[in-house]
Amino acid sequence: MTAVAIDGPAGAGKSTIARAVAKELGFLYVDTGALYRAIGLYALRRGADPKKEEEVSPLLAGLSVRLCFVNGEQRVLVNGEDVSEQIRTPQVSMAASGVSALPGVRAFLFELQKSMAKDNNVVMDGRDIGTVVLPDAQVKIFLTATPEERAKRRHRELLEKGETVSYGAVLEDLKKRDYDDSHRAVAPLKPATDAAVVNTTTLSLEESVKLLLGIVRGKLK
């Protein structure tokens, strides 16, 4: 099986670009960030502090998180409930950043992610795919962009969903996530040593997809 690992900070366009690349290649797209968001949402619903291992880990025994595909679109199920829309709020984004630093949560999701790559050709995106989850991936890419550009994209996305949030608040949240994700003790956000680093600040979506497809096809020749 062939694996393409795409890592990068929040708002770098990983999900949108990875989904388009996977579709073009005929590979399965796996959004690992959605899995952490699902656990973040579950922790919030259960009244747990997403940053506290002792509050979150005991909840995992009663949790089932699954990715399924409906008409080619990835949906996220928490104990059978489709939470694909609920996991995209700023509050859940911060909760996801919290739970993703917990060793118990990472261990809980590790095998699920590995098994998907074992059974399918995948484009998998996240924070530590090339460094931890799929260190033997044939292609590793680290996507980035300036914090301001990433906040602009995320702000536009939230407004399109009808949410009322300021650009300043989005930028502040994003910078905090960057810091938390890159300074956590377990699997911090960083490029794999053999990853191609791609800055999408000045690129359109179409240009970014075209560039990544070129990198992937070049590596797989």
User: Per DSSP, what are the bridge partners of residue 69?
Assistant: 74
The two most distant CA atoms of the chain are separated, in Å, by 50
- pLDDT score at 140: 98
Residue of 216 and 116 predicted with greater confidence: 216
pLDDT one-digit tens code per residue, 26-60: 999 999 999 999 999 999 999 999 999 999 999 99
pLDDT of 184 higher than 90: no
Q: What is the mean pLDDT of residues 1-25?
A: 94
Give residue 157's pLDDT band: very low, low, confident or very high (50, 70, 90).
confident
What is the pTM assigned to this prediction? 0.85
- pLDDT score at 10: 87
Q: What is the mean pLDDT of residues 196-213?
A: 96
- pLDDT score at 163: 85
Contact by Cβ (8 Å): 125, 6: yes
pLDDT one-digit tens code per residue, 104-146: 999 999 988 998 899 889 999 999 999 999 999 999 999 999 9
Give residue 164's pLDDT band: very low, low, confident or very high (50, 70, 90).
confident
Q: What is the mean pLDDT of residues 139-163?
A: 93
Q: What is the mean pLDDT of residues 149-169?
A: 92
pLDDT one-digit tens code per residue, 61-114: 999 998 888 877 789 999 999 999 999 988 999 999 999 989 999 999 998 899
